[in-house]
Amino acid sequence: MEENRRMNILVLGNSGAGKSTLIEAIAGKEVPIGIGEGKTQSISVYESEIWPLTLIDTKGFEFNFLQQMKTVSQVKKFTKEQIKAEDGRGIDVVWYCIEGTTRRTFAHNIDLMNRAIRGWKGIPVFAVITKSYSEPDEVENIEAVKAAFYKEKGINFKSVIPVVAKEYRINDEVAVPVKGLADLCAQTLQCAEEAQQISVDNQSRLVLEQKRFSAEKTVVGATMAAAAVGAVPIPFPDSFILVPLETGLAKSLLKIYDIDFSGDLVTAIVGSAAITTVARAALNALKAVPNVAGSAINAVVAGFFVFALGESVIALSEEICKGRLNKEKIDEVVAFVEEKIGSNAVLAAAIKVLGTNPEKWKGKKAKQILIETLKAVKEVATKNNSGELKP
């Protein structure tokens, strides 16, 4: 971990689980603490005066469903803001607090935690058993917590650490002393380098996801424009009618990804031999679909081909951003785009959708056919879970 860098700890758990008491003990300063269901109503940040840790306190998971969703939404929003932060601040570790005196582990609430931090993939998670006053119960609680966490997939679960954050007096003569705090902090700091790398990876991933969202909006707009151009009575695979639109799309996408590019690069992408080959094959396949007028066929092929081209340039841009492709090596760039266009299943899926129920398209205009087909194709991609279409 970078010298003098503080680790940022997101503290989650049920209301009344002792999160605020734990934070007060670690931070070495007073934190507003409630009674019973808890008092924390929003996210608060505390820097420890003892450890190189910044503790982020959250509203507890209530039993009310609406309150649970509100807390999940609040944490999601906060973690996304941290991922985007330019000052390098992020979430390094989660402490999930479970009250030891309840002798129960709420698997549902662990699921809520997982949903809340899902945008922060791979973040180390420590289960903290608070108010761990009874040694016999402690052993049972540790096993129960481990079992609950192991049932949840996708959590980078580290360990279970029982703590007593504040001395608990049983009577005038007997008290349970503070314990487990140093162990919790020490184990957390031991995974600092791993946590920092995960944080960097998450920030890079979300930046690309945001760019992809903007890029896909641009591609959809270009798809509709291509359909309008393709509807003219000219067999577009044999003409340059779509070149200006394709060129503009490629330039727009590269700009979204902040990639400096030359005119030669864009010309090479748009002028790829794969464009004519794929478009002509799709056009010939669609001609066999009954009840679709020739102008509509042209429009649908034009639209879906530009859609496929856009998706390919998005994939290219992300590879360049990740350092896997050198934009200066134009031959390699063109080969990548050609491979992506050639293997893209968008057109194949569109043709399959159109041919499945040909009566549905009778009398419909090109734009309507394109929109309905695009929606159906996206549903196919969603069902594949990966988000990618398969031939």
| CATH code, domain with 119 | 3.40.50.300
What's the average model confidence in pLDDT over 225-245?
A: 67
- Shortest CA distance to 314 belongs to which of 365, 257, 356? 257
Last residue of a domain, one of 190, 223, 253: 190
Q: How confident is the model at residue 12 (pLDDT cuts 50, 70, 90)?
A: confident
Instruction: Note whether residue 388 is domain-resident.
Output: no
Instruction: Note whether residue 2 is domain-resident.
Output: no
91-105, 193-207, 271-285, 377-391: which range is least confident on average?
377-391
Last residue of a domain, one of 134, 165, 190: 190
Write out the DSSP string of 31-74.
----STT----S-EEEE-SSSSEEEEE---B-SSHHHHHHHHHH
Same domain, 125 and 260: no
Question: 119 CB contacts (<8 Å, ≥6 apart)?
Answer: 76, 79, 80, 83, 202, 206
Q: Cα(71)–Cα(48) distance, rounded to whole angstroms?
A: 24
Q: Cα(321)–Cα(265) distance, rounded to whole angstroms?
A: 16
Same domain, 240 and 340: yes
Same domain, 183 and 285: no
Instruction: Note whether residue 137 is domain-resident.
Output: yes
pLDDT of residue 138: 85
pLDDT of residue 306: 84
Instruction: State the amino acid at position 246 in one-letter form.
Output: E
Same domain, 33 and 174: yes
pLDDT of residue 197: 80
7-16, 139-148, 354-363: which range is least confident on average?
354-363
- Is a pLDDT exceeding 90 seen at residue 160? yes
Same domain, 274 and 363: yes
- Is a pLDDT exceeding 90 seen at residue 128? yes
Q: How confident is the model at residue 161 (pLDDT cuts 50, 70, 90)?
A: very high
Find which of 281-285, 312-316, 342-346 is predicted with most confidence, using mean pLDDT: 312-316
Same domain, 162 and 116: yes
pLDDT of residue 387: 45
Instruction: Note whether residue 199 is domain-resident.
Output: no
For residue range 265-308, list pLDDT tens digits in order: 898 888 776 666 766 666 666 666 665 555 566 777 778 778 88
| Pairwise pLDDT comparison (77 vs 215), residue with the higher score | 215
Domain range spanning residue 28? 7-190
Same domain, 242 and 119: no
Same domain, 19 and 117: yes
For residue range 202-212, list pLDDT tens digits in order: 767 777 877 88
Same domain, 94 and 158: yes
Q: How confident is the model at residue 56 (pLDDT cuts 50, 70, 90)?
A: confident
pLDDT of residue 274: 67
Instruction: Note whether residue 391 is domain-resident.
Output: no
Q: How confident is the model at residue 254 (pLDDT cuts 50, 70, 90)?
A: very high
- Is a pLDDT exceeding 60 seen at residue 384? no
Last residue of a domain, one of 155, 190, 225: 190
- Is a pLDDT exceeding 50 seen at residue 386? no
Same domain, 231 and 321: yes
Instruction: Note whether residue 97 is domain-resident.
Output: yes
Instruction: Note whether residue 197 is domain-resident.
Output: no
Mean per-residue pLDDT of the chain: 77
Q: How confident is the model at residue 252 (pLDDT cuts 50, 70, 90)?
A: very high
Same domain, 142 and 226: no
What's the average model confidence in pLDDT over 102-118?
A: 71
- Shortest CA distance to 321 belongs to which of 216, 197, 204, 199? 204
- Is a pLDDT exceeding 50 seen at residue 389? no
What's the average model confidence in pLDDT over 31-40?
A: 45
Which contiguous run of DSSP H or E holds residue 288?
Answer: none
Phi, psi torsion values for 92, nearest 5 degrees: -95, -40
Instruction: Note whether residue 31 is domain-resident.
Output: yes
pTM for the model stands at 0.59
Q: Cα(111)–Cα(38) distance, rounded to whole angstroms?
A: 20
Task: Provide the number of structural domains found in the chain.
Answer: 2
Q: Which letter, b or e, does each residue of 188-207 get, where b requires 16 or more Cβ atoms within 10 Å of its Cβ?
A: bbebbebbbebbeebbeebe
pLDDT of residue 253: 93
Same domain, 141 and 213: no
- Is a pLDDT exceeding 80 seen at residue 60? no
